[in-house]
A and B are shown apart, each in its own frame.
Chain A
Amino acid sequence: MIRVMVVDDHPIWRAGVARDLVEQDFEVVATAADGAAALRIVPAVTPDVVLMDLHFASGGPSGAETTRRIIDTWPDIRVLVLSASGEHADVLAAVQAGASGYLMKSASVEELVTAVRRTAEGDAVFTAGLAGLLLGEYRRMALDPRTDSPRLTDRETEVLRQVATGCTARQIAEALGISHRTVENHVQATLRKLQLHNRVELTRYAIEHGLIDQ
């Protein structure tokens, strides 16, 4: 049974999502109202998947920061972001910090269940919204004169654009004349590259500012 932890500061939402998941045969091992609480509880319950809100009314570490700390310490735990709309910069930060994907809070129960299952299996949950965000981030980096930021191949760009406009992996595979699995690989690669880049950047920043030894 997949062990899930729900982190959200709104009690009605938290309880509701937990109940939906239990009804669909997930084990909800814990709930937490903010990032600080989540970081305290995670080691005790070792969930497979953490459903992460991005903003907490009580302050403390944000959803993105909590995600980064969880993944740094427990690399086997997958984090799936559940976000409200209009938090795109924060969603991107969380995904760069290692989250496996994000769902809008307006997603249906079926979408949520599928997403949690896929996350537990280690796949990134690729919604159109996430593809749009990644595409935007790569475009932004491409305009940046610094040359060491990762680039998308033409094929990866094409695949991401199609995901961002709602095409399924099957439709993309058909349109591009490649296998379903290759499409998946392209998509996952775009996310991995960005997360890796983010990690390298953080390390470089830390060394430059004397936060860690070389």
Chain B
Amino acid sequence: MPAATDIMTPLWRGVVVLRVITAAFAIVAIIVYHDGFVRPGLGWAVLAGIAVWTVVICLAYSDDVTRRTSVVVIDLLVTLALMGSSALVLSPEQLTEVTQRTPLLTTVWASGPVVAAAVQGGRVAGALFGLAVSVVDIWLRGLFTIDLARDTLLLVGTGFVLGLAATAARRATEQLRRSARAEAATAERERLARSIHDSVVQVLARVRARGGQLDGEAGELARLAGEQEIALRCLFSAKAPDTTGEQDLAGALRLLAGPRVEVSVPATAVPLPAADVEELVAVAREALANTARHGGPGAKSWILVEDLGTEVALTIRDDGPGVDNGQLADAESAGRMGVSRSIRGRVADLGGTLTLGTGPGRGTEWEVRLARIQQDLLR
């Protein structure tokens, strides 16, 4: 994810800079308070440890391959260990008399893992790491004063707020990247659509319109040209699912248009979850296939999509001979109405309702209604 890395790089650079500055602060503090230490030798060793770990961890955080959660956790453990060594190095007075302002050996340098965790894992990780460092501080001192409470608040608060910022930045970048991608795809499709519309489609339309009046093979060729014309026009007017996982039912159904199928849709998109759109298109296809099999040679079909806000209605009607209800029941019990059962099954799985209207000479009309459940919950 190059784009997401790009936005996080400045934040990580900030983490590294803060680490180096706080390391310098910690080193100076060790030198200043060195005289009061009970184990001065170990004090120097901790100083060296802080310096070495700062170099190691800054290198790790500078490369997006090694910026991993495990590395941040190791950073916390090493930092806490160095912090914990204060118990052996500082004198009991230095340790307990916070009012004398003797810091632990690691002092503000211990905030490093907290900011790193916030940038890597977000607000919860940031706050938890802040809490971990504070708890160890309090435990080492063996007391809880207003100063330590303030440090705790600052550390936890910093981790939380920085984590929020990092997550927001990451989401914004992700969104930007998605919309840029969608925009590029749309622009490309429109470019193709324009050029095809201005050339191939016009000629096909002309061949179809002119040849449609001719008999025999010429008429057949014209009919084929017409099918391709409609297919091309529809192909470019259909839209891919958007980033929210929703798809335009109207656009998807328009692909079914043809010389014998007319599709009536609203001017605006009819968004539904992509899976529902797929099922509804499958229902429409089965109804059309049924008309093609039983509707006679000249039968036409119409598909109507209506967006009623809380629900979506899909109607598929043909002008075939239709069947009377008794016949339909007979056919269904005899297992010949496979299509009816299959459509019923699909609609039931979707949680929609199906109405079948038919009768001798009235054609057949399927009406599917599907409630927009998720939408309502979100509103």
A contacts, CB < 8 Å to B: 9-10, 12-13, 16-17, 20, 57, 84-89, 91-92, 105-106, 108-109, 127-129, 131-133, 135-137, 139-140, 142-143, 161, 164-167
Contact = CB atoms under 8 A, between A and B. Distances in A.
Contacts of A133: 264-267
A145 B306 CA distance: 19
Interface of B: 194, 197-198, 201-203, 205-206, 208-210, 212-213, 226, 229-230, 233-234, 236-238, 250-251, 254, 257, 259, 262-268, 300-302, 304-309, 315, 317, 319, 365
14 contacts: A12-B206, A17-B209, A57-B194, A84-B233, A85-B230, A128-B264, A132-B263, A132-B266, A133-B265, A139-B306, A161-B304, A161-B306, A164-B264, A167-B317
A166 B266 contact: no
Nearest to B193: A86
A135 B306 contact: yes
A136 B307 CA distance: 7
Contacts of A13: 202, 205-206
A122 B266 CA distance: 25
The B contact surface, by secondary structure, is mixed
A128 B257 CA distance: 13
B179 to A, nearest CB: 21
Given A12-B202, A140-B307, 11 more contacts: A16-B206, A85-B237, A85-B257, A88-B265, A106-B205, A106-B233, A136-B266, A137-B267, A140-B266, A161-B306, A166-B319
Contacts of A128: 262, 264, 302, 304
B302 A10 contact: no
A131 B264 contact: yes
Given A57-B198, A106-B208, A91 B257 contact: no
Contacts of A109: 209, 212-213
Contact of B264 (A57, A87, A132, A137): A132
Most chain B C-beta atoms within 10 Å of own C-beta, residue among A20, A84, A128, A137? A84
A136 B267 CA distance: 7
Given A164-B264, A165-B365, A85 B206 contact: no
Given A132-B266, A166-B319, A106 B210 contact: no
A109 B306 CA distance: 30
Contacts of A140: 266, 268, 307
A91 B236 CA distance: 17
B304 A165 contact: yes
